[in-house]
Amino acid sequence: MFLHSVNLWNLAFYVFMVLLATLGLWDVFFGFEENKCSMSYMFEYPEYQKIELPKKLTKRYPAYELYLYGEGSYAEEHKILPLTGIPVLFLPGNAGSYKQVRSIGSIALRKAEDIDFKYHFDFFSVNFNEELVALYGGSLQRQTKFVHECIKAILKLYKGQEFAPTSVAIIGHSMGGLVARALLTLKNFKQDLINLLVTQATPHVAPVMPLDCFITEFYMTVNNYWVLNARHINLTTLSVAGGFRDYQVRSGLTFLPKLSHHTSALSVVSSAVPKTWVSTDHLSIVWCKQLQLTTIRAFFDLIDADTKQITQKSKKKLSVLNHHFIRHPSKQFEENPSIISDLTGTSMWVPVKVSRWSYVAYNDSDKIYFAFPLANHRKTFTHAYCQSTMLDTNSWIFGCINSTSMCRQGVDLSWKAELLPTVKSLTLRLQDYPSLSHIVVYVPSVHGSKFVVDCEFFKKETRSIQLPVTHLFSFGLSSRKVILNTSGLYYNIELLNFGQIYQAFKVNVVSKCSGGKEEMTSIYKVHIPWSYEDSLTIAQVPSSTEISLKLHVAQPENDSHVALLKMYTSSDCQYEVTIKTAFPQILGQVVRFHGGALPAYVVSSILLAYGGQLYSLFSSGYCLEYTAILDKEAKPYKVDPFVIMIKFLLGYKWFKELWDAVLLPELDAIVLTSQSMCFPLVSLILFLFGTCTAYWSGLLSSTSVQLLSSVWIALKRPAELPKDTKAMSLDLPVLTVVFLIVSWTTCGALAILLSYLYYVFKVVHLQASLMTFRNNQPVNPKHSRRSEKKSNHHKDSSVQSLCLSANDAEDSLRMHNTVINLLAWVVLLSMPSLIYWVKNLRYYFKLDPDPCKPLAFFLIPTIAVLGNTHTVSVKSSKLLKTASQFPIPLAVGVVAFGSTHLYRVPCFVVIPLLFHAFCNLM
C-alpha cells in the first residue's frame, strides 16, 4: 500500500538527504585522527578491596559499593586498615565501572615507588552498578548522596594517623564529574571535604540527551548553584575534554562557565594538554597513558610537604594545573621560582652578533653561554625567537641587564618558554624587555646525545600573515593560499573570520626543502585564543600535510582575538598554505551540535502529515497516502517562522512578562543562543533531515506491518473485516486496566511498550484481514478506487456494503500506519528508563521516580481506543475538524520546546492522539 504510492522525485530527494546525513554522521564517528593514546598497563595484578559501610547505608543504597584499589604488596599491606596516604575518589560515569580506576591508580603507585613512598595516594572507587545516568536522571540525586557518605567513610579510615586528611580529591569521569559538582548542592555537605576536583569528559553545560525531566532539573540545580554561589566556591576544578574523538560528549559541553569572579576553574581539551597532545574518545580518556601521566605529575606537585596532603592553597593549585595542563615551560614546577639565576663557573662565553644562528651540540665537554647583544637588533627587529631540541627541564635561556660580554646573574626566561612535542621554544617581544642588554642561550655539556639550538631575530610584520577563510557556501570549490617565501623558523598565520562552530575547513600545508638535513620536522599548531582547545600536527618535511580546522566553542561576542595557525618551521624549507571549506565537516558540525534535536523535527513532520490526513478525512471523506500528505504538509514555513517570531518577541520586556505570566517554559532557541549554538539555516537543515527520517520511518513501519500480516496469514487465517465499526473489543477495558496497573506498580515505559505492541497487533490483524479479502475478490486493473466506488452503485446492496468496508479498512490502515510511526518515536524516547529499570530489577521492582508514569496514564487508554478505531466512525464525528487542526500548532510546539528537551516531545504527540480517540467516541 505504501510502496505503490512512492513518487520518484520525492524518493530521489529523500535519498539525497540520506547521503547528506551520512556524510555528517561519518565525520562525527570516523572523521578524526587515529587513537594515539598509549595503553596504560598494570605491573601487578589489580585488586579491589571492598570497604565495609554501615548497615544503614547498605540498606538504603543496596546497588552501590565502595572499593579501595591496590596492586601486589601495596594491596596486601593495606588490607589492614587504617590507611596512611592521600585519599583520591574516582567516580565512574554513565554505564561506567568502578574498575576504571586501575589505570590512574597503577600509575600513581609506580610514581610513589620511584620516590620510595615519601608520598603516596590511596585510590578509592565507587560502584554505581553501571547505571545509565546519562539517559535516566532519576538516580543522580541518589548517587550524589551516596558519594557524600563515601567521603565521610573514607576519611574515617585515616583516623589516628599523624597526617590524617580532612578532605579528598575527586576524579570524575563523564557523569561522575557532574555528581561530584552536585555534592555542593546538598544541605549538609561541607565544601572543605573536597580539596580538588578533576573531571574527564563530563558534560557540564547541558545533558547530551535530555530524555527525562530529572536530568534537566538536576543540571539546572547544579549549574544555578555554581553560578549563584561562585564567590563562595573555593573548590579548584579542572575539566578535561576528549576532543573530536569523543563523539559521545562533544567538548563544548565540558567547558565550565567562565565567571569573572570565579577564577578557580579551568577547562581544557586533551589535544592541548602539554605532554599529552592527543584526542581521546569517551572511554580512552580514563586509560590514556599520556593524560594519566600528566594528571599524576600534577597530583604529586600539589602535595604540601608540611601536611603530606594536597595543599589547601588555591593559588598553588591553579599554578600547578596551569603548569601541567595549560602551558608547560619544560621546567619542573616550583611554587616560587627564582627569577634571577647565577651564570658563573668556568663556562665559555661566545658572543653572537648575527640575526640568525644555529648550533648543533654533540658530545661536547664544555658548557657554553652564547650571548646575543640586543642594542643593534632593537633598531631593526621587533621579536626574538629561540628553540632547542633538548627537552630536559634545566634553565636554558636568560636575559642579562647592562652587560658587555658576560654577566654573573641573569633573568631566567626559561619559565616563559613553551614545550612542544619535539622542541621547547620562546618568543620575546623586545620592547617588553627594555632593560635587557643581552639574551643568553646556555648549552650544557652532553655525553653522546645530539641536539640543536636555533635563534633568530625578526620583524612581526614579516612573520604574521593574514589568511581570510573561505565562505561557508563555497562548498570547497574555491580556496585561498599564502606562500611563505622567507626562510624563518616561526610564522603566525591569522585565520580571519574564523570563530563560529558551524565553520569547518581543510588546511593543506605543502613544504619544499632545498637543504640536505636529516630528520627535519615541522610543527603546525592551531591556537584558539578564547578557549584551550589547541591541536598540534607534527610533519616530517618535505611533505604535504592536511589539517582539519573546526571549533568546539564559538568565539564570544566581546572577544576580538583571532584564531592562529602557528608554524614552527625549518629554515631550509618553503611552505605553501591552502585553505578551503570542508562541506562534509560542516555537516558533521551540524550533527555534532544539533543531532540530538532530530527526533523533535521528525515528530514535527509526522504531526504535520497526521493533521493533513485527518483534514483530508474531514474534507473529502477518505484518507490520503502518508507519502503524498507528507510531501504536501511537511513544509518548513509552517514551523520555523513561528519559532523565529516568538524568539524575536521575547526580546521585548512586555512580551517576556506575558510569557512568564502564563507559565510557559523558556524557548529552546533561546537556550541554544545562550550556548552559542546558533547555526545559520540549521533549523531548515534539521527540518529537511527530520522530514527525510519521517519518510523512511513511515516506509519502515508500513512495510513491517505488511510483512507481519503476511506471516500472520501464513500462521493463522484471520477473521473477516469488521462489520460494526462502532463496536469495541471486549478485552479493551481489561487490557487498559492491566497496562495501567503495570505502569503504576513497575515501570511506565514498560506499560507504554506493551500497549504499543497491542496496537501493532490490532493493525496487523486488520491488514491481514484486508489482504485475505482482496485475495478472495476478482481484480480489475482498469478500474481505480474511485471507479470501483462508482461501479458498486450498480451492484446489490450486500456487495456494495462489503466493498465499502474494504475501502474504509484501507483508509483506516493508512491512518493507523501514521499513528504507529508517531508512537514508535514515543516508545523510542521512553526506552532509556525501561532499560534502566530492567538493569536494576534485582534491586528495585518499581521504578522511582518514573518519568513515563504520567505519560502512560494518558497514552495507554488512548492507544487502546485507537486500536479499535476505524475511519468510517471517525469521519462522522463532530470533533474531527477540531482534531485535524491541533497537529499543526503542536508541530510548532515540538520544535519550539522539544529540541533541547526531548522528554517533552511525547507530550505533544499525546494531545492529537487523544482528540483522535475522542472522535471515535463522540
Whether 551 contacts 503, CB under 8 Å:
yes
Closest C-alpha among 600, 768, 583 to residue 687: 600
Q: Tell me the backbone φ, ψ of residue 696, rounded to 5 degrees.
A: -70, -35
Closest C-alpha among 580, 574, 599 to residue 826: 599
Distance CA 495, CA 534 (A): 14
Residue 90 DSSP one-character state: E
663 conformational bin, left if phi > 0, alpha if psi -120 to 50, beta if neither: left
Q: Which residues pair with 506 in a beta bridge?
A: 548, 580
Query: Cis (ω within 30 of 0) for the bond into 849?
Result: yes
Whether 361 contacts 450, CB under 8 Å:
yes
CB atoms within 10 A of CB 192: 11
Known catalytic residue: 174?
yes
Query: Cis (ω within 30 of 0) for the bond into 832?
Result: no
Q: Which residues pair with 554 in a beta bridge?
A: none
* Residue 438, CB-side half-sphere exposure with 13 Å CA sphere: 26
Judging by beta carbons within 10 Å of its beta carbon (0-12, 13-18, 19+), is residue 249 exposed, middle or buried?
Answer: buried
Q: Tell me the backbone φ, ψ of residue 349, rounded to 5 degrees.
A: -110, 125
| Collapsed DSSP state (helix, strand, coil) of residue 583 | helix
| Collapsed DSSP state (helix, strand, coil) of residue 241 | strand
Residue 636 DSSP one-character state: G
Q: What is the grid cell recorded at 658? A: 506575558
Spatial CB neighbours of 912, under 8 Å, sequence gap ≥ 6: 607, 610, 611, 614, 883, 886, 887, 890
State the catalytic residue, choosing from 40, 125, 139, 174: 174
Whether 609 contacts 634, CB under 8 Å:
yes
Q: What single letter denotes the amino acid at residue 550? A: K
Residue 550 DSSP one-character state: E
Whether 116 contacts 154, CB under 8 Å:
no
Q: Which residues pair with 589 in a beta bridge?
A: none
Where do we find the cell 565567571?
259
| Collapsed DSSP state (helix, strand, coil) of residue 545 | strand
Q: What single letter denotes the amino acid at residue 197? A: L
Provide DSSP, 376-427. THHHH-SEEEEEES---SS--EEEEES-SS--SEEEEGGGG-EE-SS-EEEE
Where do we find the cell 462489503?
802
Residues labelled catalytic: 174
